[in-house]
Structure 1
Amino acid sequence: MKELHSLSLLQITLFLPLLMCMNKSQGSPTSGTKYSISITTKDGMLPLDISPSAQPQPFLPLLAPSPLTPFKNYSMPQSKLSGLCSLNFSAAEDIMTTTATDCWTSFAPFLANVLCCPQFDAMLLVLIGQSSKFSGVLALNTTHARHCLSDVKKVLVNQGANDDLRKICSVHPVNLTEGSCPIVFVDEVESIVDSSRLLTACRKIDPVNECCNQVCQNAINDAARKIALNDMSNSNGNHSLPGKTTRIQDCKNIVLRWLASKLDPSAANSVFRGLSNCNLNKVCPLVLPNVTSVVKECRNDISNQTSCCKAIKSYVSYLQDQSFITNLQALKCAASLGKKLQNANVSNNVYNLCRIGLKDFSLQESGCLLPSLPSDAVFDKSSGVGFMCDLNDNIVAPWPSSSLSLLPSSCNRTTKLPSLPTATSSQNGLYINNLVLLHLFTSLILFKRLL
Structure 2
Amino acid sequence: MRQSVSYSLNLLTLSLLFSQCVYECHCGLVGDAEAMAPDISSSVNPQPFLPLLAPSPLTPFTNDSIPTLSGLCTLNFSVVGDLMSKTATDCWAFFAPVLANVVCCPQLEATLTTLIGHSSKYSRMLSLDTTHAKHCLSDVEKILESQGANKTIQKICSIQPENLTEASCPVMEVDTFESIVDSSKLLAACQKVDPVNECCQEVCQNAILDASRKLADIGIAANLEGVHAVPQQSSRIDDCKNIVLRWLASNLDPSSANKVLRGLSNCKVNKVCPLVFPNMTRVVKECANMITSQASCCKAMDSYVSQLQEQSFITNLQALNCAASLGVKLQKANVSNNVYQLCHINLKDFSLQVGSQEYGCLLPSLPTDATFDKTSGVSFICDLNDNIAAPWPSSFSEPPSTCNRTTKIPAVPKATSAQSGLYKNLMLPSFFSSLVVLKLLL
Band of TM-score, shorter chain: 0.7 to 0.9
Structure 2 residue identity aligned to 1:265: P
Give the Cα separation in 2 of the matches to 1:163 and 1:73.
12
* TM-fit CA distance, 1:57: 3.3
Matches within 5 A, 1:216-227: 216-227=204-215
Matches within 5 A, 1:362-377: 362-365=351-354, 366-377=359-370
For residues 321-358 of structure 1, the C-alpha deviation after alignment (integer angstroms, 9 at most, x for no partner) is 11000100100111111111111222221111211100
SS of 1:201's equivalent in the other structure is: helix
Give the Cα separation in 2 of the matches to 1:359 and 1:223.
39
Give the match for residue 144 of structure 2: 156
Deviates more, 1:384-393 or 1:326-335: 384-393
Give the Cα separation in 2 of the matches to 1:73 and 1:124.
22
Give the Cα separation in 1 of the matches to 2:288 and 2:90.
42
SS of 2:120's equivalent in the other structure is: helix
Give the Cα separation in 1 of the matches to 2:190 and 2:303.
45
Matches within 5 A, 1:424-435: 427=415, 429-430=417-418, 432=420
- Structure 1 residues 260, 248: CA separation in 2 closer, same or farther (over 3 Å shift)? same
SS of 1:379's equivalent in the other structure is: strand
1:122–1:273: 8 Å Cα contact kept in structure 2? yes
Give the Cα separation in 2 of the matches to 1:428 and 1:172.
39
1:36–1:50: 8 Å Cα contact kept in structure 2? no
| Alignment pair present for 1:63 and 2:53 | yes
Give the match for residue 417 of structure 1: 409
* TM-fit CA distance, 1:429: 3.7
* TM-fit CA distance, 1:300: 2.3
* TM-fit CA distance, 1:436: 6.0
| Alignment pair present for 1:136 and 2:124 | yes
* TM-fit CA distance, 1:37: 7.4
Give the Cα separation in 1 of the matches to 2:340 and 2:62.
45
| Alignment pair present for 1:48 and 2:36 | no
Give the match for residue 390 of structure 2: 397
| Alignment pair present for 1:274 and 2:274 | no
Matches within 5 A, 1:14-413: 35=19, 48=24, 55-67=45-57, 69-72=59-62, 77=66, 80-233=68-221, 241-365=230-354, 366-391=359-384, 393-402=386-395, 405-413=397-405
- Structure 1 residues 351, 179: CA separation in 2 closer, same or farther (over 3 Å shift)? same
Structure 2 residue identity aligned to 1:82: S
SS of 1:385's equivalent in the other structure is: strand
For residues 40-82 of structure 1, the C-alpha deviation after alignment (integer angstroms, 9 at most, x for no partner) is xxxxxxx73799xx934322111222445423499x747x211
For residues 375-426 of structure 1, the C-alpha deviation after alignment (integer angstroms, 9 at most, x for no partner) is 2111122221111114573101011112x521111112221111116xxxx5
Give the Cα separation in 1 of the matches to 2:270 and 2:280.
24
- Structure 1 residues 199, 69: CA separation in 2 closer, same or farther (over 3 Å shift)? farther
Give the Cα separation in 2 of the matches to 1:225 and 1:209.
24
- Structure 1 residues 131, 304: CA separation in 2 closer, same or farther (over 3 Å shift)? same
1:63–1:386: 8 Å Cα contact kept in structure 2? yes
Structure 2 residue identity aligned to 1:222: D
* TM-fit CA distance, 1:103: 0.5
SS of 1:106's equivalent in the other structure is: coil
Give the Cα separation in 2 of the matches to 1:91 and 1:242.
35
2:212–2:237: 8 Å Cα contact kept in structure 1? yes
Give the Cα separation in 2 of the matches to 1:37 and 1:156.
32
Give the match for residue 4 of structure 2: none
- Structure 1 residues 178, 315: CA separation in 2 closer, same or farther (over 3 Å shift)? same
* TM score, norm. by length of structure 1: 0.81
* TM-fit CA distance, 1:374: 3.7
Structure 2 residue identity aligned to 1:416: K
1:392–1:420: 8 Å Cα contact kept in structure 2? no
The structure that is helix-richer by fraction is: 1
For residues 140-176 of structure 1, the C-alpha deviation after alignment (integer angstroms, 9 at most, x for no partner) is 1111111111110110000000000111111111111
Give the Cα separation in 1 of the matches to 2:351 and 2:98.
10
- Structure 1 residues 181, 436: CA separation in 2 closer, same or farther (over 3 Å shift)? same
Give the match for residue 32 of structure 1: none
Give the Cα separation in 1 of the matches to 2:197 and 2:288.
40
Give the Cα separation in 2 of the matches to 1:144 and 1:237.
29
Give the Cα separation in 1 of the matches to 2:313 and 2:426.
17
Structure 1 residue identity aligned to 2:262: R
* TM-fit CA distance, 1:432: 4.8
**Higher RCO (Cα < 8 Å, 6 or more apart):** 2
For residues 415-451 of structure 1, the C-alpha deviation after alignment (integer angstroms, 9 at most, x for no partner) is 1111116xxxx53643657x969x979x89x969xxx
2:47–2:386: 8 Å Cα contact kept in structure 1? no
* TM score, norm. by length of structure 2: 0.83
Aligned length: 403
1:105–1:163: 8 Å Cα contact kept in structure 2? yes
Give the Cα separation in 1 of the matches to 2:21 and 2:116.
50
- Structure 1 residues 368, 432: CA separation in 2 closer, same or farther (over 3 Å shift)? farther
2:220–2:230: 8 Å Cα contact kept in structure 1? no
RMSD of Structure 2 on Structure 1 (CA): 3.3
Structure 2 residue identity aligned to 1:270: K
Give the Cα separation in 2 of the matches to 1:428 and 1:153.
36
1:61–1:436: 8 Å Cα contact kept in structure 2? no
